[in-house]
Chains A and B, each alone.
Chain A
Amino acid sequence: MITFAFYLFAVLITGLFLVTVMSKNVLYAMTSLAAGMVLISGLFFILGADFLGVVQLIVYVGAVMAVYAFAMMFFDLSRDVEERHDKPWLIFLLGGGIALTLVVMFAAPIMGEAVHALYPPVAGATNPQAVGLVLFTKYLLPFEVASVMLLVAMIAGIILAGKKMEISLSAMDEDILPDTKENA
C-alpha cells in the first residue's frame, strides 16, 4: 500500500514540477507548484513527519503560494510569458547530468550500521510533541535566529516595495534633492 502510494506520489510530484518548470503559463506553473507541494506534504505524512507536513501545507501552500499569487497579479502575467532560449540542449544536458549523478549518488547503500540516532523521538510522544521537545531545547537558538531572519525579511520586503524607493537620492543631483531631514 505504502509502496503504491509512494510511486503514485512520486510520479505525480515529478510531473507537476515538470509542468512548473516547463509551462509557459504562470498560472499553470504556480498551480502545479502548489499541487506538488501538497503532495510532498503527503509524503511527509507517509514518513510520519506529521508536524512537518502540516507546516509544509500552511507555510508553503498557504502563505508562500498566496504571496506568489498576489505577485502574479501585480506583474500582470496572465498572458503566456515569452522566454528566449538559445541552447535548449544545454539546459537538458545540465539537468540530465545532475539528475544522473544524483541518482548514482543516492543509489549507494546509504543506510549504515554506523549511524546512530542522536535525537530519537521520545517514546510515547506524538510527532508534534517530539518535534517540539527537540525544537525548543537543542534547536531553540536556530529557532530564535530564524525569527530574526523573518524579521529581516519582513523589513526588507516592506522597504524594498515601499514608496520611498520611487525616487533615488543616490542618482539625483544634490541641489534638486527634496530636503528630507534624515539625510541632512
Chain B
Amino acid sequence: MENYVYIALFAPLAGSLFAALFSQRPKALVTGVVTSTLLFISFVASVILLNHVHHEGAVHVTLMDWISAGDMSIPFGFNIDQVTAVMMTVVTLVSTVVHVYSNGYMDHDKSFNRFFSYLSAFVFSMMVLVMSDNFLGLFIGWEGVGVCSWLLIGFWYHKADVTRDVNPSISPSWAANEAFIMNRIADLGMLVGIFLIYWNIGSLQYADVFAAVPSMNHGMLVTIGIFLFIGAMGKSAQFPLHTWLADAMEGPTPVSALIHAATMVTAGVYLVIRANPLYSAIPEVSYFIAVLGTFVAIFAASMALVNRDLKRIIAYSTLSQLGYMFAAAGLGAYWVALFHLAAHAFFKALLFLGAGNVMHAMDDELDIFKMGGLKKAMRWTYLYMGLASLALAGIWPLAGFFSKDTILEAAFNEHTYGIWLVLWFTAGLTAFYSFRQVFLTFAGDERYKPLGFHPHEVQKYVLWALSPLAILAVIFGWFKEPFMEFVTQFLPAYEMSEHTEHNVVILTVVTTAIALGGIIFAWMRYYKGLKRDEKVEQSLPYRILLNQYYIPILYERVFSKPYAALSKVFWEDVDQQVVDATVDGIASVIQESGDSSRKIQTGNLSDYLKLMSGGALVLVALVLFAAMQN
C-alpha cells in the first residue's frame, strides 16, 4: 500500500517538474497530456487507497525522520485515514478533470506549459496538506497551495491595473497579491497555533497532539483553537478575510474551479475536521465557528443576488457554501461537513468549468446582462450548468439536496434554531441566485447578438471530461449512508435525536419548498429575458450588495489608505530618518567592513606572508599567556 501512497503523492510533482522543463518553450501538447495522465494515475492510486482504507483501516507511512535537531524530532510521515482518503479522492478527481479541461481552455495561451506546471504543483501541495500526519507537513502544504494560488491568480500578470469601477478586482496581479497578503495574515495566526501546540505538547504528530488534548488546560486549548481557526479563516475566505476570494476570479477559470471552489478553500474546513478532537473540547469556539459560518453563508449569498459577473456569482456562492460547511463543523457534525465538502467540490467545479465554457464562447465577457439565450448555441453546457445549479440549490435527488439538508437537520438538532432559520433562508437565496444566473445566461432573448458575439460550444473532449463531475453531482448524494458509515469510522458519529427524526420529513419539505420557491421566483423574473428595474437598481440595498457591502472600499479606507498615509509619515519622518538611516547604517557598515577587510587582500604575496607570520606569532605568543594561566 505504501507504494500507492507515494504514487498518489508524487505523480503530480513529477507532472509539475516535467511541465516545468518546458516552461520557457512554446506550447507543447505533451505537457498537458502528461500532467493529466499523471494526475489520473494519482486519482487511481487514491481510489485504491480509499478502498484499502475502507476494508483494512488507515495506512501510515513514515518517510523519514525529518527534523531531528537536538531534542526536537519531527518524523515526516503520511497518514491515510478515512478523511484523508476522501479528500485525496476528491482532490485528484477534480484536478484530473480540470487538467483535461485546461487542455482545451488554455489552448491558445502562450504560457500553456507553465500553467500546467503550476497546476500540478498546486495539486502536489494540496496532497501534502491532506496526507501529512503532522501539523508541520500540513503547514508546508498550506503554504505550498498559497504560493501556487498566488502564481495562478496572477497568471495573466501582464494585464494592467484598472479602477474598481471597471473591474472590481483591479488586475490579476493586484488580486494575486491581495489573496497572498490576506492568507499571509491568517497563516501567521496558524503558525502561532502550531508553535503553541509544539510548546505545550512537544510534538506535532496529530496522534500525539489529539491524545494530549483531554489533559490540557482549557484556556490554552481555546487559544490554540482560535489561532488555528484564524488560519482556516484565511484559506477558506471567511469573514472578514473573504474579499480575496471574489477577486481571485481574475485567474484562469480552471484555476477558479480547482482552487477557489473545489480544493484549496476547503483546506480550512479540512483543518477544522482534522482537528475535531480539539474543537470538540472547546464548544464555545465551535459555536462561534458555526455562527460565523452561518453569517458568511447568508452574507455571501446576499451579494450573489445582484452581481452581474458570472464568475463572481459562483465565487460568492462558494463562500456561502463554505459557510455551510463551517456551520456543520462548528455544530459538531464533522462528517456532514466533509460530506458537503465533497458534494460541493463536484458541482461547484462543474459550475465553474461550465462558466469557463461560456466565457470562452463569449470572448471572456462575464457580464450576464450581456448574455441570454445561449442555450441554443451551448446545449451541453446549459445542461451541465443547470444540473450543477440544481445540485447547488439542493433539489432532490441531486447531491446538494442530501448534504445541505443534513446540515439543516443538524442545526435543528442542536436546537440552534437561529442558525437553522438563517441557513434555511439562505437555501432559498442560493436557489434564486443560481437560477438567476442560469436563466440570464442561457434563457430568454439573445442579448449578445447586438454586441457582436458568436458563441459556440467547446470541444467534444472537454464536454466528455466534464461528465464525471456531472454524474457525481447527480448521484453523489445517494451514497450518504455508506459515506457516513465510512468516515465515522474515524470521525465522531453524529446522531440525530428522536425529536429531529420525528420532524425530518417536515424539515425536508420546508427546505425543498424554499429552494423551489427561489427557483420559481428566478424563473418568473428572468426566464423570459432581462427586465431591468431602474428603481431597484438605484435603491440603497441593491447598491450596498452590489458594492459588496462596501467592504473592499472600507478596507481601502480603513486599512490601505490610512496605512498608506501612515506609511508616508513613517516613511518620510520615521523611516527615512530613523529606520532607513539605521538599516542603511547597518548595510553600509557591513559593506564598509567588507571594503575595508578587502584591503587585507592586497594581491601582494609578501603581504600575505606577513599576515600569515603575524597570525602565527599571535598564536604562539598566546601560548605564553595561556600557559601562565595554567
Chains A, B in direct contact (C-beta < 8 Å)? yes
Which residue of the partner chain A has the closest CB to B620? A101
A94→B621 CA distance, assembly (Å): 11
B489 cross-chain contacts in A, Cβ below 8 A: none
Task: Tell yes or no: A158 within 8 A of B by CB.
Answer: no
Task: Tell yes or no: B589 within 8 A of A by CB.
Answer: no
A101→B620 CA distance, assembly (Å): 7
Chain B interface, >50% SS class: helix
B524 cross-chain contacts in A, Cβ below 8 A: none
B624 engages A104 (CB within 8 Å) = yes
Task: Tell yes or no: A90 within 8 A of B by CB.
Answer: yes
A98 engages B616 (CB within 8 Å) = yes
Task: Tell yes or no: A153 within 8 A of B by CB.
Answer: no
**Beyond A90-B610, A94-B610, is A102–B620 a contact (Cβ under 8 Å)?**
yes
Task: Tell yes or no: A105 within 8 A of B by CB.
Answer: yes
A98 engages B623 (CB within 8 Å) = no
B38-62 residues with Cβ-Cβ distance < 8 A to A are none
Q: Which of B614, B616, B620 contacts A105 (CB 8 A)?
A: B620
Q: Which of A98, A104, A105 contacts B617 (CB 8 A)?
A: A98
B610 engages A105 (CB within 8 Å) = no
Task: Tell yes or no: A132 within 8 A of B by CB.
Answer: no
B613 cross-chain contacts in A, Cβ below 8 A: 94, 98
A93-117 residues with Cβ-Cβ distance < 8 A to B are 94, 97-98, 101-102, 104-105
A24→B620 CA distance, assembly (Å): 30
A98 cross-chain contacts in B, Cβ below 8 A: 613, 616-617, 620
A55-92 residues with Cβ-Cβ distance < 8 A to B are 90-91
B616 cross-chain contacts in A, Cβ below 8 A: 98
A105 engages B621 (CB within 8 Å) = no
B623 engages A101 (CB within 8 Å) = yes
B621 cross-chain contacts in A, Cβ below 8 A: 97, 101
Which residue of the partner chain B has the closest CB to A104? B624
Interface size on A, residues (CB 8 A): 9
A142→B179 CA distance, assembly (Å): 69
Q: Which of A90, A97, A105 contacts B623 (CB 8 A)?
A: A105
A94 cross-chain contacts in B, Cβ below 8 A: 610, 613-614, 617
Which residue of the partner chain A has the closest CB to B616? A98
Which residue of the partner chain A has the closest CB to B617? A97
A112→B543 CA distance, assembly (Å): 101
Distance in angstroms from A94 CB to nearest chain B CB is 5
Distance in angstroms from A32 CB to nearest chain B CB is 21
Distance in angstroms from A176 CB to nearest chain B CB is 31
B624 cross-chain contacts in A, Cβ below 8 A: 101, 104
B598-630 residues with Cβ-Cβ distance < 8 A to A are 610, 613-614, 616-617, 620-621, 623-624
A104→B624 CA distance, assembly (Å): 8
Which residue of the partner chain B has the closest CB to A94? B613
Which residue of the partner chain B has the closest CB to A91? B610
A101→B622 CA distance, assembly (Å): 9
B617 engages A101 (CB within 8 Å) = yes
Distance in angstroms from A143 CB to nearest chain B CB is 30
Distance in angstroms from A88 CB to nearest chain B CB is 12
A15→B417 CA distance, assembly (Å): 109
A104→B617 CA distance, assembly (Å): 13
A90→B607 CA distance, assembly (Å): 11
Q: Could you mark each residue 300-314 of chain B with 1 if its beta carbon is under 8 Å from any beta carbon of chain A, else 0?
A: 000000000000000
A101→B617 CA distance, assembly (Å): 8
Distance in angstroms from A101 CB to nearest chain B CB is 5
Distance in angstroms from A35 CB to nearest chain B CB is 25
Distance in angstroms from B18 CB to nearest chain A CB is 36
A101→B621 CA distance, assembly (Å): 6
A91 cross-chain contacts in B, Cβ below 8 A: 610
A169→B232 CA distance, assembly (Å): 64
Distance in angstroms from A98 CB to nearest chain B CB is 5
Which residue of the partner chain B has the closest CB to A98? B617
A105→B616 CA distance, assembly (Å): 14
Q: Could you mark each residue 147-166 of chain A with 1 if its beta carbon is under 8 Å from any beta carbon of chain B, else 0?
A: 00000000000000000000
A105 cross-chain contacts in B, Cβ below 8 A: 620, 623
Distance in angstroms from B323 CB to nearest chain A CB is 69
B617 cross-chain contacts in A, Cβ below 8 A: 94, 97-98, 101
Q: Could you mark each residue 539-572 of chain B with 1 if its beta carbon is under 8 Å from any beta carbon of chain A, else 0?
A: 0000000000000000000000000000000000
B614 cross-chain contacts in A, Cβ below 8 A: 94
B620 cross-chain contacts in A, Cβ below 8 A: 98, 101-102, 105
A91→B613 CA distance, assembly (Å): 10
Distance in angstroms from B561 CB to nearest chain A CB is 62
Which residue of the partner chain B has the closest CB to A90? B610
Which residue of the partner chain A has the closest CB to B621? A101
Distance in angstroms from A23 CB to nearest chain B CB is 18
A153→B349 CA distance, assembly (Å): 75
A26→B121 CA distance, assembly (Å): 71
A82→B499 CA distance, assembly (Å): 110
A91→B610 CA distance, assembly (Å): 8
Distance in angstroms from A124 CB to nearest chain B CB is 42
A117→B378 CA distance, assembly (Å): 102
A104 cross-chain contacts in B, Cβ below 8 A: 624
A97→B616 CA distance, assembly (Å): 10
Which residue of the partner chain B has the closest CB to A97? B617
A90 cross-chain contacts in B, Cβ below 8 A: 610
Which residue of the partner chain A has the closest CB to B607? A86
A39→B418 CA distance, assembly (Å): 110
Which residue of the partner chain B has the closest CB to A87? B610
A92→B620 CA distance, assembly (Å): 16
Q: 8 more A-B contacts (CB under 8 A) besides A98-B616, A98-B617?
A: A94-B613, A101-B617, A101-B621, A101-B623, A101-B624, A102-B620, A104-B624, A105-B623
Residues of chain A touching chain B, judged by Cβ–Cβ distance below 8 Å, are: 90-91, 94, 97-98, 101-102, 104-105
Top 5 closest pairs, chain A to chain B, by CB: A97-B617, A101-B620, A94-B613, A101-B621, A98-B617
User: Can you list 19 A-B pairs, Cβ within 8 angstroms, ordered by A?
Assistant: A90-B610, A91-B610, A94-B610, A94-B613, A94-B614, A94-B617, A97-B617, A97-B621, A98-B613, A98-B616, A98-B617, A98-B620, A101-B617, A101-B620, A101-B621, A101-B623, A101-B624, A102-B620, A105-B623
